[in-house]
Amino acid sequence: MKTGQQYEDSLRKMKFKVYLQGELVENPVDHPIIRPSMNSVKATYDLAEDPQYEALMTATSHLTGKKINRFCHLHQSTEDLINKVKMQRLLGQKTAACFQRCVGMDAINAVDSTTFEMDKKLGTNYHERFNKFLLQMQEEDWTVDGAMTDPKGDRGLSPSKQADPDLFLHVVEKRKDGIVVRGAKAHQTGAINSHWILIMPTISMGHDDADYAVSFAAPADAEGIFYIYGRQSCDTRKLEGGNIDVGNKQFGGHEALMVFDNVFIPWENVFMCGEYEFSGMLVERFAGYHRQSYGGCKVGVGDVLIGAAALAADYNGAHKASHVKDKLIEMMHLNETLYACGIACSAEGHKTASGNYLIDLLLANVCKQNITRFPYEIARLAEDIAGGLMVTMPSEKDLHHPVIGKVVEKYFKGVAAVATEDRMRILRLIENITLGTAAVGYRTESMHGAGSPQAQRIMIARQGNLEQKKKLAKAIAGIDH
């Protein structure tokens, strides 16, 4: 397993082509806007080295029997599924941000069972190829970006019917030694902090879309791949050199557009190529795993936000007010409900044909459906408790100004025993999680990450077995036809 420093050193050896605010970034690792997101991934390595967290952060490889980072693991039991959610909550608590390795973990588990079943039916050898990739991932302790979402273009048209064929990533050439792909993947979490990328189709495909039914692995800095870094609210505060106004100085997350400009992929790294009838299975299983993930990571960040709101109440002198106490109770109730869903879909998981474990898909989709709602209410209550000063107070430069600093110190004081700077810090943290750079990993991502709300509702309708429920009602009512 890598240490955090070894992980950072490994990124420095890579040759990423990253554009940020119209400029090519020479050193992504140390860029002040990108660096906090790298720190979040680095935490997944550091915590795995801490004996206190070993049970959650590590697992035993089913391939080698060695101890590995859990993010490189295929779930071998419902206990593994539960420990995954507990690990994600821990990391959310430690970073208050998106730590980015979940998509790769969810991707390898989905690709494993799908390739196994595809080979069994079609006689292909994708699973053997995938196992070789997985073995190397575990041995090298890679961070892998699971890449599913395409730009999609006109949502009313299938991939092959788009005016621009590149709006869904697709195979443009097949050679004896591999394939050439072109297109893009959007909203790619942690892509620039990853060693490899694992591509999957974004929707269930039909016969006409066979060229778009493709899954493969590639180095994140492969020839022909480049990135356009996504903007986040308040992101340029990281360029100011302070440590109050950013809210969370150390940690963050990022998203990027990943562009494939005629990228060559050798056959040994291809895990689906035209087998469109299995694209739906892969999408459904990855989405299920990733919707389970949100019952851990969002809950951990929620723990930090609830703590920050409680501190804001303390610093404002409002902690004894009954309505403030009730709001904090409601925040905890909503947060623990999300966690309960993550644990429930894990405990109800089952073994797949390949041997790894899949969560209960219905409960995973219920988990994510709640995630599209509850964090918004938790954020609203946090903003309510914090007060309007969260979005109207002056900057830390004003606080430290030789002339007006004393004025800021005087008039933004809350409880006399609490330093004005501490009050400002906690309010900035709440702002960061609910409105700032962390919002991409908490509030807005809660809506659209792992599929927007309607995607879960479709799966709930499919998995909910309404006809069986009708039979139950008929039996109780005495209807025998």
Residue numbers annotated as active site: 98, 102, 189, 255, 290, 294, 297, 445
CA distance 395 to 105: 39
Measure the CA–CA gap between 115 and 113, rounded to whole angstroms: 6
- The rounded distance, in Å, linking the Cα atoms of 17 and 153 is 24
Q: How far apart are CA 44 and CA 94, in angstroms?
A: 10
Both tokens of 436, joined, read 């700032």
Instruction: Say if CB 412 and CB 422 are below 8 A apart.
Output: no
- Give CA–CA dist 72/87, Å, rounded: 13
The count of C-alpha atoms lying within 13 angstroms of the C-alpha of 39, restricted to the half-sphere facing its C-beta, is 16
Task: Determine how many CB atoms are found less than 10 A away from the CB of residue 332.
Answer: 15
Q: Distance between CA atoms of 369 and 459, rounded to whole angstroms?
A: 10
| Contact of 244 with 421, CB cutoff 8 Å | yes
d(CA 387, CA 424): 12
CB contact at 8 A, 198 and 233: no
**What is the Cα gyration radius of the chain?**
23
As to burial, measured by CB atoms within 10 angstroms (0-12 exposed, 13-18 middle, 19+ buried), residue 177 is: exposed
- How far apart are the C-alpha atoms of 210 and 286, rounded to whole Å? 19
**Paired sense of beta strands 170-174 and 270-273, if any:** unpaired
